[in-house]
Amino acid sequence: MASMPSRPIPEATVARLPVYLRSLLDLAEGRGQLNVSSEELANLAGVNAAKVRKDLSYLGSYGTRGVGYDVEYLLYQITRELGLTQDWPVAIIGVGNLGRALASYKGFTERGFRIMALFDVDDKVVGSTVGGLPVRHLDDLKDAVTEEGISIGVIATPPGSAQEVAERLADAGVKSILNFAPTVVNLPPDVTVRKVDLSTELQILSFFQQRVQAIATAREANRRLGAGR
């Protein structure tokens, strides 16, 4: 029995690790701080301190009681746990407004994600260069994935094409997909799909906004009625 994963890391924790990572980078690069307490990290990450400690405890006991966590060491551990000690070759499919913005977005490349190839089906863009990379035809996908060792696919197509593109990615052996198209894609469970959906987010905001307004309106009505209590 080689290296048994000490405890399985809850998904909710995994989703917060990148936030801690960024906060720690700010501390290290910005102020050159050497130690950080769960309290301070919690403030930076916008969560509560107990949660930070519990999250970090899944990675192991990397803190020192009475002192806090060593920033550099924690940075290294989180980086390692997230698999960011290596580079991940990324392909973007769909070179419309969004695809273009993604291709030239810096935050994308900064942390070990290398955009290796762009794909589209439109003859008007296939062959052109975007952000220093040639746009290839979608039919080249499988070959390119093999050649370039692409491990992450980013779908930035219109919703109608997303499912097909997702299947092609899966067929080419890509196991991690980030879907920007506003539609659900169904794939076998061995492929991890995450969704980033603008209009969904706006609609959720709308729900809360509407609720606030509804309450305000009700309160207003109550006041007019002069209802006591």
Partner DNA sequence: AGGGGCTTGTGAGAACAGTCACAAAGTCCG
Partner DNA sequence: CGGACTTTGTGACTGTTCTCACAAGCCCCT
Point out which residues bind a second copy (CB under 8 A). Answer: 2-3, 14-15, 17-19, 21-23, 44-46, 81-84, 86, 88, 90, 97-98, 100-102, 104-105, 107-108, 110-113, 151-152, 175-178, 182-186, 190, 192, 194, 196-213, 218, 221-222
d(CA 66, CA 37): 9
46 contact choice in DNA, a second copy, none (CB below 5 to 8 Å, kind-dependent) = a second copy
Query: For DNA, which residue of 10, 96, 127, 149 counts as binding (CB under 7 A)?
Result: 10
Q: How many CA atoms lie within 13 A of 142 on its CB side?
A: 6
Does the protein bind DNA through residue 43 (CB under 7 A)? no
The 133-137 sheet, strands edge to edge:
129-130, 133-137, 113-120, 88-93, 152-155, 176-179, 192-195
Considering only residues 18 to 37 of the shown chain, the ones binding DNA according to CB under 7 A are 36-37
Nearer Cβ to DNA (20/119):
20
Does the protein bind DNA through residue 211 (CB under 7 A)? no
Minimum CB–partner distance for residue 46 and a second copy (Å): 4
Query: Which DSSP state fits 80?
Result: H
Identify the CA nearest to 35 among candidates 3, 9, 67.
67
150 contact choice in a second copy, DNA, none (CB below 5 to 8 Å, kind-dependent) = none
Q: CB of 114 within 8 A of CB of 87?
A: yes
Q: CB of 179 within 8 A of CB of 162?
A: yes
d(CA 47, CA 40): 10
Quick note: the x/- pattern for DNA over 47-66, rule CB under 7 A, is xxxxx-xx-xx---xxxxxx
Minimum CB–partner distance for residue 220 and a second copy (Å): 11
